[in-house]
Amino acid sequence: MTRLFNDPADFADEALAGFVAAHRRWVRPVTGGVVRAAGTPAGQVAVVIGGGSGHYPAFSGLVGAGLAHGAAVGNVFASPSAQQIRSVAKAAHGGAGVLLMYGNYAGDVLHFGQAADRLNAEGVPTATFAVTDDISSAPADQAAKRRGIAGDLPVFKAAAAAAEAGQPLAEVARIAAHANARTRSFGIAFSGCTLPGADEPLFTVPAGRMAVGLGIHGEPGIGEAVLPTADEAAELLVAGLLKELPDGVTAPAGNRAAVILNGLGSVKYEELFVVYRRVAELLQEAGVTVVEPEVGELVTSFDMAGVSLTLTWLDAQLEPLWTAPADTPALRKGAVAPAAAGTAAAAPESMPETEDDALPQGTAASRETAVTAAAALRAVAATVAEHAEELGRIDAVAGDGDHGIGMLRGATAADAAARDAAERGAGAGTVLHRAADAWADRAGGTSGALWGTILHAVGDALGDEERPTAATVAAGVTRAGEEVRRVGGARVGDKTMVDVLVPFADTLAAATGAGDRLAAAWDRAAGAAGEAAAATADLLPQMGRARPHAEKSLGTPDAGAHSLALIVRAVHGVLSDTTEEH
């Protein structure tokens, strides 16, 4: 278990601060993560990687010459926010554009995509790429749905080496896609990991058994099998990967491969070497030439006891990129030349969260509504704090257990931002926009992006001028539901927050349309939300980290749906105490 921590909500920030203090030869801090201490050579594409904390040395430990130019670091098991990613990318940009790289998880896809949109709009040429190497997470004909696990490393390495060689952004992105297409990973575990502050691991494995096909966020395995010997584990991993060869590799014999045997946190080096001994024998028997293998902890999951095997099938283009020199805190290969002359100017160690902190002033009517909106967000933060442990427990049934932590960080930040904006005379729209940005930035992850979307949509509807009517509020909630479906891609029945947001919005619109005052209409809609949240227990997840573990989630409601139902009920308490329709 994770034993050394202070406030669990501060764990990721404090871990990053300690990492920087220990590795100043390689990295320096910027808002949202780290960049190379020496900067990015002028005219070189910057490869910026990222993801949640809890996976060290991914992602910050891979920043340095020959590998990443920067890393955006999110909360525990949660993607960094779009603002964090943008901040790191701007600090790393050397004038030739940025490639954002990450594992294929919903929150990362949302936040890195939003960051890329903003960067491109600001004149920084930016592309994105999601790694999809985990063969257990989706069948071969649905490879785009696969997770990114330890295969992140060879794909990041190929792209970064191409950038180091002076390739333009489009070519660096193409090489990333080529490396990903030739990379496969497969993992097993003997116990789950325990998040800082949690009393129990995210999953357990019965004595004498192992989980097969696990992820790196504490998700349970796809199945179970009898606990193997070291040789049997090696045979299972190698056989699994040799069953699925990438296009262009018709048989293992005669091919060359980069090999990574990765420890997930509690399986230590001597154990890994025992397993690798047999992995090497099996690959040799299959006719595979192993090129510069890596054995060790490279992409971890806190204290999870498990291992994964990654094969990247090399060709004439990929092999020199894999073997190219690198000098980072966690991975060193060959001899790296001194930093090139003309290194890009050092970026500041922190960047403002917003370019302009001046707040537009709301009208008197809108300022009154802003006070109610801030009170509602205060109630939301209190409710999330009360139920954070429960939300984490629900999320851990088939996911990664981070929903409670992420929601608490986001709601607390939104509360503080809303209070500050309201006290400074902002209207309701601006108060909700500030809260939206704070929630998305502090929480990260899928829920951070979606709650930012919800609050922005409602803020757009309320504006800073008029006192909103009940119909105006309902229209904003309806718009929020539409935007969440557009951004996240979920539909009713997928076992997500959409299963609650849509009936809540529909009921609120119907009630206000029938003439109900806002508090009464919200009460009816909150009741519908509660019923819809409970009904998600009977659904099978179609999206997100719970999707590969669909059967495990039967009988348990979706954590995002449940938290939304709790939140709208808490908001009703504020509305019912408000005497006017604002």
H helix or E strand, kind and range, residue 188:
strand 183-191
Angle at 259 between CA 234 and CA 171, to 5 degrees: 150
Q: What count of residues does the chain have?
A: 582
Beta-bridge mates of residue 27: 36
Q: Are 264 and 56 in contact (CB under 8 A)?
A: no
Q: Which amino acid is at 375?
A: A
Helix axes 518-535, 559-576, angle to 10 degrees: 160
| Region of residue 135 (left: phi > 0; alpha: psi -120 to 50; beta: else) | alpha
Q: How far is CA 90 from CA 99, 338, 459, in A?
A: 12, 23, 28
Give the long-range contacts of residues 475-481, CB within 8 A, separation 24 or more.
475/509, 477/504, 477/505, 477/508, 477/509, 478/505, 478/506, 478/508, 478/509, 480/453, 480/454, 480/455, 480/505, 481/505
Q: Rounded to whole angstroms, how far apart are CA atoms 124 and 567? A: 38
List the catalytic residue out of 69, 93, 217, 572: 217
**Which of 191, 271, 198 is closest to 11 using CA atoms?**
198
Name the residue among 247, 59, 77, 297 with its Cα closest to residue 156: 59
Distance of CA 421 to the CA centre of its chain: 28
Q: Which amino acid is at 336?
A: V
The answer to whether 74 and 50 have CB atoms below 8 angstroms apart is yes
User: Is 217 among the residues known to form the active site?
Assistant: yes
Residue whose tokens read 């966690």:
330
Separation CA 261–CA 296 (nearest Å): 7
* 126-131 vs 98-103, strand pairing mode: parallel
Cβ–Cβ under 8 Å, residues 76 and 70: no
User: What residues are labeled active site?
Assistant: 217
